Structure 1
């Protein structure tokens, strides 16, 4: 396969590793307007859906514990599982500024999300995983681990890149070749099944329960090797079409894979979770680049939150934030 002037095939046997995320680049990003808006919108959705009181939460890929600290302040017991020791060190430094009671409610564990049930056990009231799936060539094992770590009926909160909106940012930034490349790329699909029709719907502004689980009927095809841009010269913001769907060079200099809402719902359905609802993250502010946080950021977040709960706005958001629930385990 030859895409945008680059070619190559990933052929290493065994589970494909995620691309490493540069800690310094991530740290710079989270202090920008786009980083703050993302974190605030995810936190607002978690406050809306998480069980009240002393719930047990597993934050997979929780990095520097930004969300974990917020949840611990609200009285929840949070385990952060992350494979990057530098990110966990940032989390430790963040916790130093918190009261003893908050620090006591956060546990930091180094390890891969795919190993979550073995490393940190199961039975969690909620399992969160934000901004991780898009770095994985093969998301299935992580999805399985997320659902396995949750108790039956437990909450799943997963955020990843929106394949349906990859052209929006370069278009608004007047980068026309990149916008055209994104528009011409086939729809990405974490499930490995056929691309869903553009008009199909998963979830709503309000929880809809099991009716959204129909996406699990989508036929599954064998996932081919990862072909394309890893280490092969994609420039910032460029998009390539690979067998797994569109791949884009992200903000932090690492290629990221995009998913559809329908594909993400189908992926979780096959792992044993049903979609409740979903949100769009960053609609109005995504094209603003790495701007500093302005004084009116609260109003920006309010506008983003309202738009991210409804169509058609959430369909063009940069990221998908999907809320699901783990189904009862089969017995016998």
Structure 2
């Protein structure tokens, strides 16, 4: 995922340019911190108090230069217009958020408005075209059969959430002025890995396989997640 984002940033902006990045739903701030370490000016937007506390603790342990490049704002991703002016960012991230939003269209439109011309919108969504894969691989045949005709599912936290189909997202991105530029599959072969499992000895090979599959048809089409990259016209 990080390599894919770096690839898109490198392809869109001059080498060495310090970008203005907005990370909507930043969680613990892992991605935000990584980009701040790379020299970018990062704003993390998050509404969960526990996540914010964890992110602030992690940021406090960074060198002064990194702390100065990152700010954390408590707020809802649907209220970006309250916090920022249109066109304020070169890159907007929204990773692992849309599945929790029942009506994502207003959120997406707001994110696109935050982008400067030529800016990059990076989304990570649950793949609605492959919802039958996980129950099918677990041998849960009734669940797999039901998953073909829906975009609703229950995640590993036991929450009822939603997925997005590639064709629908392509149309939505075009409609908000940030047409799909490229897309990747994420967790093609590793979606059934147990949470907290030990890191395998051949993890670098595993990552290389996932990276290759995530950009190669037909494998990327059955990934658990889709990484979608739109560009503001």
Output the TM-score relative to the length of structure 2: 0.93
Find the residue that maps to 1:293 and give its secondary structure. Answer: coil
> RMSD value over aligned CA atoms?
1.3
Distance in 1 between residues matched to 2:121 and 2:203, nearest whole Å: 28
Q: 2:124 aligns with which of 137, 144, 159?
A: 159
Find the residue that maps to 1:164 and give its secondary structure. Answer: coil
Classify 1:277/1:254 alpha carbon distance in 2 versus 1 (closer, same or farther; 3 Å): same
Q: Aligned pairs, how many?
A: 226
Larger Cα Rg: Structure 1 or Structure 2?
A: 1
Distance in 2 between residues matched to 1:277 and 1:322, nearest whole Å: 6
The aligned counterpart of 1:12 is none
Q: 2:218 aligns with which of 312, 315, 326?
A: 312
The aligned counterpart of 2:4 is 45
Where does 1:1-332 land on structure 2 (aligned, <5 Å)?
A: 42-50=1-9, 51=13, 52=15, 53-122=17-86, 123-183=88-148, 185=149, 241=150, 246-290=151-195, 291-327=197-233
Task: Tell me how far 1:256 sits from its aligned partner.
Answer: 1.6
Which structure carries more relative contact order (alpha carbon 8 Å, separation 6+)?
Answer: 1
The aligned counterpart of 1:26 is none
**Uncovered stretches (5+) of structure 2, i.e. residues with no partner:** none
Find the residue that maps to 1:165 and give its secondary structure. Answer: coil
**Uncovered stretches (5+) of structure 1, i.e. residues with no partner:** 1-41, 186-240, 328-332
Distance in 1 between residues matched to 2:35 and 2:126, nearest whole Å: 23
Output the TM-score relative to the length of structure 1: 0.66
Task: Tell me how far 1:163 sits from its aligned partner.
Answer: 0.9
